[in-house]
Amino acid sequence: VDDDDVDDVDDNDDEDEELVPYNPKNLPLGWDGKPIPYWLYKLHGLNLYFNCEICGNFKYRGPKAFQRHFAEWRHAHGMRCLGIPNTAHFANVTLIEDARALWEKIKAEKNKDKFQKETEEEFEDSHGNVVSRKVYNDLKRQGLL
């Protein structure tokens, strides 16, 4: 092995080290390939990580990315897999158990608001009186109509 070949290998290592910027705090890189300033990192909340169980425990860096992810495909796909529509009711819901509980509550409210034939149906007798179905059937059975 020539000494010249060994020197060439060492020169390549020095060039690679120059390409990687010094980044001890593991800050995200800016548009110029250098770490963004620490104050900007803190200002945008990039030091905060948000976990979403619906997205397969994916971690989002910063509140802006976290809020944006609710409208993205990964969250919508996770909700679809659970059989839950991805509506505004589920904004900021990241736990599967919470999403299912909220969906059951919404379904119960919808069923409660649905027209119930037995209790809400009204009948009019020959005198023009409006009564519920139950009262109408009772009066009819008694022969009062």
pLDDT tens for the 145 residues of the chain, in order: 555 555 555 555 555 556 778 888 888 899 998 999 999 999 999 999 999 999 999 999 999 999 999 999 999 999 999 999 999 999 999 999 999 999 999 999 988 888 777 777 888 888 888 988 888 888 889 988 7
Tell me the CA distances in angstroms from 122 to 42, 134, 136, one per residue in order. 64, 9, 8
The pLDDT of residue 10: 52
CB 121, CB 133: distance < 8 Å:
yes
Strand partners, 52: 58
Give the pLDDT of residue 103.
Answer: 96
Angstrom distances, CA of residue 21 to CA of 13, 33, 85 = 14, 8, 45
Entry pTM: 0.64
**Diameter over CA atoms, the chain:** 119
Predicted confidence at residue 119, as pLDDT, reads 74
Supply the pLDDT for residue 18: 60
Cα–Cα distance for residue pair 105/111, rounded to 1 Å: 10
- Helix ranges restricted to H, the chain: 3-19, 38-43, 63-68, 73-82, 96-113, 117-120, 133-142
- Can you read off the two tokens belonging to residue 63? 């509140």
Contact 59, 35 (CB under 8 A): no
